Every structure is written in C-alpha cells, then in structure tokens.
Structure 1
Amino acid sequence: MNTKPLYFLTLLLYFNGFCQKIDQSKKELNTKETNTQNSSQTNTHQTNRSNHNSSDNLFVDLFLYLSYYAIVGNYELENHLDNELTTYPYADKRTGNYGGESQKTTFRLDVENSFLTEKLGSNYSSYGNHFKIKGRVKQYIYGQFDQISLFENYQGKTASLPIYQFNLGYDRLRFKHFNFGFLIGATHVGSTVNKTGLNFGLHADAFIVKNYSLDTSIHWSNINNQTVRTFDIKGKYHRKNMFFALGYELLQIASPSYNYLTTGLGFYF
C-alpha cells in the first residue's frame, strides 16, 4: 500500500490547521453562542421578607467588610502597605518596586516591548509584538495599557490580529522583594472583530537576587461569549533604569491557542 498520499494529506492538514488559527479566532469571536436553556421557571413565591431584613443586612455588611480588607487591606495593621514606590527596581541595590528608603518617587512610568516568536515549520511561522506601558501613582494605584499584535505567515500569506487592553491596577501586597495585585478594565479585539469585553487580571513580581526578578501575569476576558486569555512569565535582568527580559507567553483567543517565546527590553522613567 502506497502511504505517500496519506502522509502528504496529513502534513497538509497539519499546517493548514496552523494557518487557520487567527482566522478561526476571528470567526469564533464574531459568532455569538446561543443559549437554549429553558427559562420557563418563573416561580413567584410571595414570602414575608421583613423577618429576614436584619439578618440579610448583617450578612451584607459582613461581606462588604471582609471584601474591603481582602482587596484593599488594613493600612493600620499591614506595614507593607506603607512601603513607598521606588524610582526603579534595585535602585538602592536591595529592593524591588516598593520599600526603598532612599530611592523613592511619587510617579513612575514602566515601558516594555517584547517580541514574540513561534516558528513551527518552513512554510509556517507565527510571531508578534507586545507593547506595555504602566503609569504608577505613588504606591497606591496604576494604569496599564497593553497592545498585542499577532501575525501568521503561511505560504506567502499573512494574517494579523491586534488586541488592546486598558486596565487599572492595585498591588495588594507590597513587600520589598515581592508584590502581588490585581487589574480590572477592558479588552478590545480589533481587525474584523472590533469587539470589547470586561477584563480581570492578576500580576506578581518576585525580586529573587540582586539585579534579577521574576514577573508573571494572567488576564481573563469574555468577548461575545468567547474566552480571551493571556498568560506570561518572564525573567528580568535589571541594570539601572532599564531591563532585559526572556520568557514565555500563552494566549487563548476563542478556541485556538498561541504559544510564544518572548524577548524584551524595558525602561523606567
């Protein structure tokens, strides 16, 4: 039995599947899932809720109290929340983003650009660029903008997909060698999709040894009932107010996923 036609057909389907990833993401983001659940359950029990008002209010107050301290923290009891923003990591040779006793500032810009590469064959390659800028106001809050541009080349044809993220962030833990926080905002997918959804993210930095740190973040979004998720982890080498980065980035845009090695350069202003 001649297996060559089957081999070439399998190979063709293999690479064709890759070249369809961006187009498949666009197609799924433009197709809204229908919910066929029966919503006929409309029970209208009339109960006397007045007996439960006091207990309900107590539960709500307790929930809000715990939520506030879980998210914002207790500035009277948690000393790390008073650690001030540094001019840049390792400016004093010891601390990361927070806690510098001599190198302190009230505003800082973190600017970073990373190149994404995923080469899977001689006729197919996937690559991209991730630009990020973060404006920090003292140690309390920051705004972050991300622009992710993805490209696929297959047999001379190129497909592209831009993603924009706008977030406000708050670092809940602000230790000298570790910080952890959350972000909330919006994700916009451009090109022929042109749709926006709510975004929620988590971010952490660990300053391991002098001049080296580990940076990781994850973002979840829902656009047109489809998942848009980004995850990245990278190691950074800091030298004065600049850094070099090497890492890994995973994106899920609807059902297709994209895996990239990343190399980047950044500055603190």
Structure 2
Amino acid sequence: MKKTMLSFLIIIVSNVLYGQGKIKDAEDSLKKTEQSINSHTQSTYSNNSSDSDSDILTDIVRGIVAPIFAYTAYGIAVESPFETNNKSHNAFLTKYPYKNSNTGNYSYNWNEDSEILTTTLTSRFIFETNRLYGNHLNADMRFLKRLGLEFDYLQLWEENNNFDTNKLAIYTALAKYNRVRTERFNAYWGIGAAYIDGEVNALGFTYGLGAEWFFVKPLSLESNFNQILVNDNTVNKFNALLNFHRKQYKFSGGYEGLKIGSVGFSNVSLGIGVSL
C-alpha cells in the first residue's frame, strides 16, 4: 500500500514539474545566462627584430589585405562593379507581383505598374499541435528601390491542463537592404532590434536574410531566416512558403521552424497577405 501511494505521489509531482509546457521551458532557457570567468595572461617580449617583422606585417595588412577585404565585403553586401551595367541595377518596384506581366516584386522598366513605395501586410497562422499555436502579423515596406523596413509580431499560445494558457510574444523590427533585384528573383539582408515579452522581458539584436523566387505565374517560393541574440542565447525563426498570388492578394502555406533558447518548434504555416 505504501509503495502504491509513493508511486502515485511521484506521478503527480512529475506532472507538476514537467507539465508546464514548451513555451514555459523556452522562456526559462532564455532567462538563463551563462557566466564565464576568463583569465588573460600577458607576456611582453623585447626583441627588436620581432618588432620590426611585426611592423612590416601590420603595414601589409593595412595597405593590401584590409582594402581588398573591404572591397569584397562591399561587393557582396551592396553591389559589385560588375553589376552596375546590369538591368537589375536600376530595377523598379512593382505594385504587386504578376500584376500585368510575369514579373515579381521588381521590373526593369518604369511603367504604370511601377511604384516608389510598396507595403505588404500579412497574417500567418502557425500551429504545431491543436494546443500549441501562434500568429504572425507582418508589415513589409519597400522604398527607393533598394531599402526596406519590416515589422513582425509573433504571438504564441499553449493550452495546458495543469496550468493557465502559456503565452509568449516576440516583436521584431528590421532595416532591410534589397540586395538582389531581378524580375524573377529578389533577396535581402537586414539588421535591427527585437523584444521578447512575457517572463523574459528582454531586448536583443537581430539580423535576417530572405529571398523569393517567382518561378511561374501565379506562384512563388519564399524563404526567410531571422536570428535574435538575447541573454547570451538565441531565438531562430525560419520559414519556407509556397505563395499563390491573386491580384493584390497572396495566399501562403508551408513550414515554419522556431528555436527559442533550447526548445524547438516545428509548425505548419497558413497565411494571407495584401499589397497596398
């Protein structure tokens, strides 16, 4: 009888300790910060010949390696000299994909479908189970051909039998540079800030990468990756979507993966968007 009661108590305690849910576990992992003590040992050597060699190496790095690195980095991140004469150099924004042609977000020619500023609003419902789900509200603005701003609000809910419904909100703001601008394919990179609400209550740095391929009218493939650095930990967001474009609207479906701290989420994503 005593053994039966003890087993029953162990089961109850286990449910209480481990039944709090994935969102709560994710919040707890983000609140933990790793502390490390680094000891630095400095040694000083007085050697004229080694100092001379060091000065020569420093001059080489400053005079040759550093400019080459800066030139290459600029070419990768912004534009290479080989692209200045390409049609994509002066590509124009379209009002929305496939409006009157087979082009996506950009067109090589200015026409009645061209715009200086475009804004796309989307809402995407994501779910891992019928008890763990969320929603993305996203505003994506493009202007001056190459620049952009994106604001994303992700709200997660998890229903739990033993506790109240767990909630977690993540706010992200990105300043974006549209690096590749062709009629069928575009890609961007961006940097910004993010705020994680709930029990984490922390501000972090974030960066993002993304691309969209308009392979055949009215469809496109889209993928985005975003990482937030917060409390010596990370929040990773990745999606892969198939978009169906109908006039100024788009309907999307696909996969969204989340890794919040040490906890991973695999979600189905369904959404709708409109271009203004």
Name the TM tier (shorter chain). 0.7 to 0.9
> For the aligned residues, what is the CA RMSD?
2.4
Structure 2 match to 1:93: 101
Query: Equivalent residue of 2:89, what SS?
Result: helix
Structure 1 match to 2:43: 43
Please list the CA deviations of residues 121-163 of structure 1 after superposition, one character each: whole Å capped at 9, or x if unmatched: xxxx101010110111132100001100001001173000000
For residue 195 of structure 1, the aligned residue among 202, 208, 211 is 202
What is the distance in 2 between the residues matched to 1:110 and 1:262?
Answer: 18
CA contact (8 A) 2:87 2:108 kept: no
For residue 141 of structure 1, the aligned residue among 131, 140, 147 is 147
Instruction: Kindly name which structure, 1 or 2, has the bigger radius of gyration based on alpha carbons.
Output: 2
When the two structures are aligned, how many residues end up with a matched partner?
Answer: 257
Alpha-carbon distance, 1:56 to partner: 2.0
Are 2:96 and 1:108 equivalent residues in the alignment?
Answer: no
Structure 2 match to 1:3: none
Runs of 4 or more consecutive aligned structure 1 residues displaced over 6 Å after TM superposition: 12-16
Structure 2 match to 1:219: 226
Give 1:68's aligned amino acid. Y
Residues 18, 191 of structure 1: CA spacing in aligned structure 2 closer, same or farther, 3 A cutoff?
A: same
Structure 1 match to 2:35: 34
Give the share of equivalent positions with the same residue, in percent.
27
What is the distance in 2 between the residues matched to 1:159 and 1:209?
Answer: 41
What is the distance in 2 between the residues matched to 1:89 and 1:104?
Answer: 11
Give 1:59's aligned amino acid. V
For residue 242 of structure 1, the aligned residue among 238, 249, 253 is 249
Structure 1 match to 2:72: 66
Are 2:187 and 1:180 equivalent residues in the alignment?
Answer: yes
CA contact (8 A) 2:146 2:179 kept: no
Query: Equivalent residue of 1:62, what SS?
Result: helix
What is the distance in 1 between the residues matched to 2:267 and 2:237?
Answer: 11
Gaps (5+ residues) in structure 2? 1-6
CA contact (8 A) 2:21 2:160 kept: no
CA contact (8 A) 2:210 2:223 kept: yes
State the TM-score, normalized to the length of structure 2.
Answer: 0.85
What is the distance in 2 between the residues matched to 1:243 and 1:160?
Answer: 28
CA contact (8 A) 1:86 1:100 kept: no
Structure 2 match to 1:24: 25
Residues 195, 79 of structure 1: CA spacing in aligned structure 2 closer, same or farther, 3 A cutoff?
A: same
State the TM-score, normalized to the length of structure 1.
Answer: 0.87
What is the distance in 2 between the residues matched to 1:267 and 1:13?
Answer: 47
Please list the CA deviations of residues 217-267 of structure 1 after superposition, one character each: whole Å capped at 9, or x if unmatched: 011121111121000111111111111111111110000111111111101
